[in-house]
């Protein structure tokens, strides 16, 4: 097994292809983060329905003039600025999809080599296709909160898969011992990951239901520790399809419940991440990543508080989204380091033995 993976790194043609795959997968990580942030900006400036149709805009591949827009959709007046923001987001998302296809095509010739992460390639293609469908439904279902939230989670999933693919390609290129066991996630690791996913979903639900400033003040909410809230309506996941959900459809108490749920989720996530860091702080190789996760969480918490106190300014809301992106990246890196430590230890021991033997 080891010889098969090493040969992939030693054959010149394969080496060039691997370097290209490594570079493109890293570009994919950065590019996905940019697309996620532009998607957040699109929503924050209320441009999600800047084009009433999909995939074009008023029937064209570029934003038309007001006359053509009126002829296509007389009930939806053209707002050129919002339409261009929406189309730029679509152009970039489409480019990201092409990048996934290129990675799949380049990796097809290596898929039979032991250790090549072909399944991650396929998973990335499946998720990017699903993400495209969510993008279409976001428009056709008029910002239905369920789809908007899934669209956010899909974007972050694409980001995590690009990162995982890049890390797996690095391991494959280095020819690490494939027979070495990898550590499985413990319940504490699983809890931290699950709570992060839940908190990201809650953040998307807050955003898609326009509940970001439903609570005024921190740590209290509207002057109370436990204000009037409608939890059943706030987390009613079968909202009617049909109405235009721009600016939201829920009443104040339902939005307050959503906001408070996000705060509670943040507290639980913080406790889990802190417990994880304390539990594994003695592992020197893992310590920088755990520290990064905890620091990123602290910054994200501060950004959340600032957004409430400053009434959700655009630039600060974007920074809050960037904080979510950084948490996903750092926790994914920490998980990877945890699982791969056993492999690196085995490789290190083998190299030591070979040196002694020589």
- Per residue in 182-198, pLDDT (tens digit) is 788 999 999 999 999 99
pLDDT band at 341 (very low <50, low <70, confident <90, very high): confident
Average pLDDT over residues 212-226: 96
Rounded Cα distance between 190 and 197, Å, is 11
The answer to whether the beta carbons of residues 304 and 266 sit under 8 Å apart is: yes
Q: Give the separation between CA 136 and CA 138, rounded to whole angstroms.
A: 5
Question: Are the beta carbons of 250 and 233 closer than 8 angstroms?
Answer: yes
- Number of Cβ within 10 Å of residue 276's Cβ equals 23
pLDDT of residue 15 exceeding 90:
no
DSSP-assigned states of every residue in 280-349: HTT-TTTHHHHHHHHHHHHHHHHHHHHHHHTT--HHHHHHHHHHHHHHHHHHHHHHHHHHHHHHHHHHHH
Q: What's the pLDDT at 239?
A: 85
Active-site entry in 67, 86, 344, 354: 86
Is residue 67 annotated as a catalytic residue, yes or no?
no
pLDDT in tens, 263-286: 999 999 999 999 999 999 999 999
Instruction: Name the band, by pLDDT with cuts 50, 70 and 90, for residue 175.
Output: confident
CA 75 to chain centre: 35
Q: What is the pLDDT of residues 75-121, one digit of tens each?
A: 999 999 999 999 999 999 999 999 999 999 999 999 999 889 999 99
Look at residue 187 in the predicted model and tell me its pLDDT. 96
Peptide bond just before 55 cis, omega within 30 deg = yes
Lowest mean pLDDT, pick from 128-132, 148-152, 241-245, 302-306: 241-245
- Report whether 174 contacts 9 (CB < 8 A): yes
Smallest Cα–Cα separation from 141: which of 52, 80, 201?
52
User: CB 179: neighbour CB atoms within 10 A?
Assistant: 10
Q: Residue 228: exposed, middle, or buried by beta-carbon count in 10 A (0-12, 13-18, 19+)? A: exposed
> Which residues face 221 on adjacent strands?
224
Structure token pair of residue 302: 């501060």
Q: Return the structure tokens found at 87.
A: 């189309």
Is the separation of the CB atoms in 334 and 288 below 8 Å? Answer: no
pLDDT class for 13, splitting at 50, 70, 90?
low
Compute CA 141 distance to the chain's CA centroid, rounded to the nearest angstrom: 22
CA dihedral 139, 145, 147, 150 (to 10 degrees): 130
Residue 273, judged by CB atoms within 10 A of its CB (0-12, 13-18, 19+), counts as buried
């Amino acid at each position: 097994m080891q010889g098969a993976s090493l040969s992939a790194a030693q054959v010149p043609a394969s080496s060039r292809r691997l370097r290209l795959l490594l570079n493109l997968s890293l570009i994919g990580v950065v590019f996905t983060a940019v697309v996620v942030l532009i998607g957040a900006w699109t929503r924050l400036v209320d441009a999600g329905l800047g084009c009433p149709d999909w995939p074009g805009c008023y029937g064209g591949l570029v934003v038309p003039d007001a006359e053509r827009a009126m002829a296509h959709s007389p009930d939806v007046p053209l707002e050129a600025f919002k339409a261009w923001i929406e189309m730029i987001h679509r152009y970039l998302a489409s480019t990201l999809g092409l990048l996934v296809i290129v990675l799949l095509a380049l990796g097809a010739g290596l898929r039979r080599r032991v250790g090549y992460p072909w399944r991650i390639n396929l998973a990335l293609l499946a998720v990017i296709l699903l993400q495209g469908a969510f993008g279409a439904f976001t428009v056709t279902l008029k910002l239905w909160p369920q789809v908007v939230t899934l669209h956010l989670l899909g974007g972050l999933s694409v980001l995590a898969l690009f990162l995982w693919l890049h890390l797996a390609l690095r391991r494959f290129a280095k020819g690490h011992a494939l027979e070495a066991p990898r550590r499985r996630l413990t319940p504490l690791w699983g809890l931290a990951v699950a709570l992060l996913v839940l908190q990201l979903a809650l953040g998307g639900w807050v955003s898609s239901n326009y509940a970001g400033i439903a609570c005024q003040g921190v740590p209290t909410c509207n002057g109370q520790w436990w204000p009037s809230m409608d939890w059943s309506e706030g987390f009613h996941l079968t909202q009617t399809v049909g109405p235009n959900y721009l600016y939201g459809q829920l009443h104040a108490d339902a939005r307050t419940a959503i906001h408070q749920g996000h705060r509670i989720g943040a507290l639980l996530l913080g406790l889990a991440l802190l417990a994880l860091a304390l539990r594994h702080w003695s592992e020197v190789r893992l310590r920088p990543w755990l520290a990064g996760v905890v620091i990123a969480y602290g910054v994200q918490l501060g950004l959340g508080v600032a957004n409430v106190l400053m009434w959700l300014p655009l630039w600060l809301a974007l920074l809050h989204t960037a904080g979510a992106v950084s948490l996903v990246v750092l926790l994914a890196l920490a998980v990877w380091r945890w699982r791969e430590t056993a492999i690196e230890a085995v490789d290190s021991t083998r190299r030591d033995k070979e040196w002694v033997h020589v």
